[in-house]
Amino acid sequence: MKRLVEVKGVSNQFSDKTVCLLFYEPSTRTRISFQQACIKLGAKVVGTENAKEFSSAIKGESLVDTIRVANALQFDCVVLRSDVDGGAFEAAEVSKIPIINAGDGSGQHPTQALLDLLTIYQHFKKIDNLKVALVGDLKNGRTTRSLAYLLGKFKGVEVCLAAPDNLQMKDDILEYLERHNVKVSKVSKLADCAGEVDVIYLTRAQKERMKGKQKLNGQNVSINEKVLEKIKPNSIILHPLPRSDGFNELPERFTDDSRVHIFDQVENGLYARMALLKMVLS
Ligand code: NCD
């Protein structure tokens, strides 16, 4: 897909296909990269952002009815960002056309994990035997849940979960990792594993998913000069974005550090989503 974009720019392979984008939660990258992926493949895109307000959801229509509508209108695929855990499964159950999960509440974000894995692979030319630190709000963030899931499919991977005690990874993923023989360690300070890992995957505090006001102390799950010094020269620092001031996990001044690959992730999101759409639309 990278070659296709670089050499041809746009293909017309799927010019007879239409994709429906339904986004019930805010999104920048995921939404515009899916749109761009459709355009690069020649497919047409229809949809709504902020579907909670701009669609009939505000009149009380259920997700499954909206999915039935997309089926009746003969779309070839729906890209769905749902605001509830399991929303994509619910949608798929009533749909004859494919549903791509573009994030479901604090559940999963599989296409983010694909692009993350692609970025890691590009750098190390392997996934097996890598040590990966998942950092930040592991309880409410869906990106680290999906990345942990994919990492469990490789051999010899070690995962260090660096999170404040009340925001640690939930049991379902811990059990999954155990079943897949992934060596897992938990720390409350990124500094305690920063020097040993190949990949540091930072995440923001998911304030919108936290009940009540919580005091956020990001100091232990953020990059600062001292932590950066510990990180190996060939390790990489990733973040699904948006980075935010909740933890201030990746301050602006570190953006140009050669180990930071956050915009390669965004670019790879285009290729990964194009590849997935091609599979689904073929
Ligand atoms: C993430 C998401 O929506 O889960 N953003 C993204 O898709 N890159 C991460 C986040 O919101 O923290």
pLDDT digits (tens, 9 = 90+) for 197-219: 999 999 999 998 998 777 788 99
* CA 209 vs CA 25, 147, 270: distances in Å: 12, 19, 27
Are 189 and 164 within 8 A, CB to CB? Answer: no
Helix (H), strand (E), coil (C) string for 144-159: HHHHHHHHCCCCCCEE
At 221, is the pLDDT very low, low, confident or very high (cuts 50, 70, 90)?
very high
Are 239 and 202 within 8 A, CB to CB? Answer: yes
CA angle at 227 for the pair 30 and 118, rounded to the nearest 5°: 30
User: Each residue of 112-127: pLDDT tens digit?
Assistant: 999 999 999 999 999 9
Are 195 and 231 within 8 A, CB to CB? Answer: yes
The pLDDT > 90 percentage for the chain reads: 90
- In this structure, the strands spanning 183-187 and 199-202 are unpaired
**Mutate which of 106, 139, 143, 270 to test ligand 1's pocket (most atoms within 8 Å of Cβ)?**
143
Are 101 and 145 within 8 A, CB to CB? Answer: no
DSSP tag of 170: P
Which residue, chain included where needed, has tokens 């209108």? 73
Per the annotation, the verdict on 29 as an active-site residue is: yes
- What pLDDT is attached to residue 214? 74
The pLDDT > 70 percentage for the chain reads: 100
Ligand 1 closest atom vs CA 240: 8
Q: From CA 206, how far away is CA 94, in angstroms rounded?
A: 30
At 255, is the pLDDT very low, low, confident or very high (cuts 50, 70, 90)?
very high
User: Each residue of 133-191: pLDDT tens digit?
Assistant: 999 999 999 999 999 999 999 999 999 999 999 999 999 999 999 999 999 999 999 99
* Pocket flag, ligand 1, residue 240 (CB < 6 Å): yes
Per the annotation, the verdict on 243 as an active-site residue is: no
- For the entire predicted model, the pTM comes to 0.96
Ligand 1 closest atom vs CA 102: 7
Spacing of C-alpha 163 from chain mean position: 18
CA angle at 253 for the pair 247 and 259, rounded to the nearest 5°: 90
* CA 5 vs CA 43, 125, 193: distances in Å: 14, 22, 38
- Which domains does the chain show, CATH number per domain? 2-105 (3.40.50.1370), 110-261 (3.40.50.1370)
Per the annotation, the verdict on 203 as an active-site residue is: no
Are 263 and 237 within 8 A, CB to CB? Answer: no
Ligand 1 closest atom vs CA 241: 8
- What pLDDT is attached to residue 211? 83
Are 202 and 135 within 8 A, CB to CB? Answer: yes
Sheet with 99-104, strands from edge to edge, namely 44-48, 18-23, 77-82, 99-104
* Pocket flag, ligand 1, residue 107 (CB < 6 Å): no
At 56, is the pLDDT very low, low, confident or very high (cuts 50, 70, 90)?
confident
* Helix, strand or coil, per DSSP, at residue 103: strand
Per the annotation, the verdict on 81 as an active-site residue is: yes
* Pocket flag, ligand 1, residue 143 (CB < 6 Å): yes
